[in-house]
Amino acid sequence: MITVKSLEIHVSYHCNLSCKGCSHMTPLEKEKFIDESDVYDTLKILSKYLHCEVIRLIGGEPTLNRNLASIAKNIKEINIADKIAIATNGIFIDKIQEDVLKNVDIFEISNYHYSEHLTNKIINWAKNVKEKYNIKTYIYMYEYFRESISYLKNEDTDLIKKIYDTCIVSHDWQCFNVFEGYFFKCPQAMAISRNIENNYMDTNGIKIEDDSNLEDRLYEYINDDKPLKACSYCLGTVGNFIELTQISRDKYKDLASDEIKELVDYEFLEKNLEKSTGDMFTVEKVIEI
């Protein structure tokens, strides 16, 4: 049995925000929700070979999905994870139904706005759900994003390898994704396969099929020291800082069309190459409730 830190499920493809630099390429997504029975079948197969500390319901924005309570409950019953978390931008936090709260252990709230009103709303909500449902909340106060993806393919194999080697998302945080029957190392590999590489799911991910080789295939894929094809379009965790800002959805593509080599924070890349783990330094502080 393979044990990993986390698995992420995109319960909503779309989002109520459209952030410049969104590493899930969500601003390109039309309104769509997961196919629930498909994801349960996939997780049931996967649970025979892999266990995770936390399964995270993400998006897009997960709270846009009205079936969140039954999704959380059904996923919990599959028993693939010790805990279940929801990662949200927090805007609709006070609209979350009791049925959802009864089936979730952790909320991870990315506060991109840093507005006092939203922050206070989230803190008060978190105190309340801690008391009533024993839910733990982490509020990440973002100061910046980093450049994440470019439509222009990086042809510099040395730079691609360095970006991959320093990528905290896949190596350290283990933000593994299950998406439409595939297992991915990171949400970026899924998003790039979907939006740039024209559905190269098989190249960048592992098809989850119940065969005796699945555990070996997953183990090799997770531990492979060769970058994915998707890494040629990705900045990993070493892109230049960008300000937190909202953009029109049709602008997202234009903004993601600079060459990767122009978007790398080289000083940070070199620092991260010197040590085994890095950080992104985009979160100013974390409030734990």
Nearer to ligand SF4, 103 or 166 (CB): 166
Q: Are 171 and 143 in contact (CB under 8 A)?
A: no
Q: According to the binding rule CB under 6 A, does residue 57 interact with ligand SF4?
A: no
Question: Counting beta carbons within 10 angstroms of the beta carbon of residue 43, is it exposed (0 to 12), middle (13 to 18) or buried (19 or more)?
Answer: buried
Question: Counting beta carbons within 10 angstroms of the beta carbon of residue 241, is it exposed (0 to 12), middle (13 to 18) or buried (19 or more)?
Answer: middle
Name which position in 63, 65, 89, 154 contacts ligand SF4 (CB under 6 A).
89
DSSP letters, 51-62, are: EEEEEEEESS-G
CA distance 240 to 234: 12
Nearer to ligand SF4, 46 or 205 (CB): 205
Nearer to ligand SF4, 98 or 262 (CB): 262
Nearer to ligand SF4, 105 or 147 (CB): 147
Q: Are 33 and 78 in contact (CB under 8 A)?
A: no
270, amino acid identity: E
Q: According to the binding rule CB under 6 A, does residue 17 interact with ligand SF4?
A: yes
Tell which positions 67-86 bind ligand SF4, by CB under 6 A. Answer: none
Q: According to the binding rule CB under 6 A, does residue 263 interact with ligand SF4?
A: no
Name which position in 12, 18, 63, 150 contacts ligand SF4 (CB under 6 A).
18
Question: Strand 241-243 vs strand 144-146: parallel, antiparallel, or unpaired?
Answer: antiparallel
Q: According to the binding rule CB under 6 A, does residue 103 interact with ligand SF4?
A: no
41, amino acid identity: D
CB of 137 vs ligand SF4, minimal distance in Å: 17
Helices (H), the chain: 36-46, 68-78, 98-101, 116-133, 157-165, 168-171, 187-195, 201-204, 214-223, 251-255, 260-263, 266-274
Name which position in 9, 10, 12, 26 contacts ligand SF4 (CB under 6 A).
26
Tell which positions 173-232 bind ligand SF4, by CB under 6 A. Answer: 185-186, 188-189, 227-228, 230-231
Name which position in 15, 100, 190, 208 contacts ligand SF4 (CB under 6 A).
15
Q: According to the binding rule CB under 6 A, does residue 19 interact with ligand SF4?
A: yes
Residues binding ligand SF4 (CB under 6 A):
15, 17-19, 22, 24, 26-27, 59-61, 89, 163-164, 167, 169-170, 185-186, 188-189, 227-228, 230-231, 234, 236
